[in-house]
Structure 1
Amino acid sequence: MGWLLPYYDWIKALHVMAVIAWMAGLFYLPRLFVYHAEQAKVGSDVDKTFRVMEQKLLRLIMNPSMIVAWVCGGLMVGMGGLDFGAVWGWAKLGAVMAMTAAHMWMAGRRREFAEGRNTRSGRTYRMANEVPTVLMVIAVIAVIVKPF
C-alpha cells in the first residue's frame, strides 16, 4: 500500500466527508421512523411519502457513504493509520462495527415500513436515535484524544 501514501490526506478527507454524510443519515433515519410510526397509517399518502424519504435516505446517502467510509478507512488502516497495539484502535474499530450494525438494523426497519409491517413504537425509534450519537462519541474520542 506504499504507493497510496502520497494520497493519504486525500483519502482521509474523503473518509471524513463520507463519515459526516453517513452519520447525518444515522441520526435522521430513526427520526423519520418516529414520525412514520406515530403519524402515518399504512397505505396513506403520508405513509407513502415517508417510505420514499426513508428509501432515498438509505439508498442514496447512507449506503454509499458507509461504503466509502469503510473503503477509505480500510485503506488508511492498510497504510498504518490505526494502532491496533493500543486500546484506542480497537475502540474505534468496535464503534464503527457497531455503527454498521445499527445501519443494518435501520435498513431492516425501513424494509418493514415499506412492507407495511412495522410493529415498533415511536419510543423504540427515539431510543435507537441515541445509539449513533454514543458510538460517534466513542469513535471520535478514541481517535482524537486516544485516552487508552
Structure 2
Amino acid sequence: MASSLICSETQSRVSSVLNRDVKQFGKKFMFDSNEETCWNSDQGDPQWVTLEFPQSVKVSDLKVQFQGGFSSKTCRLEGRPKDGDFGVISQFYPEDNNSLQRFPIQEAPAVDKVKIVFENSADFFGRIIIYSLDVLGEKAS
C-alpha cells in the first residue's frame, strides 16, 4: 500500500521563491496541509522542486494542487540513486485548474532523491504556484 514518502527528515529545495519572500511563499507551505498557504515561484521556466529522502524509495504516485493559471503544462519526474545521476522516470501533463491532481508513476526505480521539473508554466511570466505536493510510494528494501 502506497503512503506519503515525505517525512520530517525529507529535505526539500526549490528553484526560486517569489521576491525571495520565504516567510510568505516558501517551500514549507507545500507540505503544511493548509489550503490557505502555498509555494509561489519567481518568474522563469523551468521551475523545480527536489526532495531528498532519508532512505531509498520507490515512487508510485505524485499528488499536486496548483493554483489555476499558475500550473505547469508539462512536468517531468526525475530520480537519482545515492551515488548516481538524475534520470527521467516519467512525464506528466497537469490540467490548469485548482483541483488536487494525482499522477500514477509506472515502474519507478529505487531512488534517494527526486526532482519534479515544471517545464513550462501556464503563466506568461513562468511562475508556478503550488498549494499541496505529496509523493506516494514505499521504502525500497
What is the TM-score normalised by the length of structure 1? 0.21
Between structures 1 and 2, the one with greater helix share:
1
Between structures 1 and 2, the one with greater strand share:
2
Q: Which has the larger radius of gyration?
A: 1
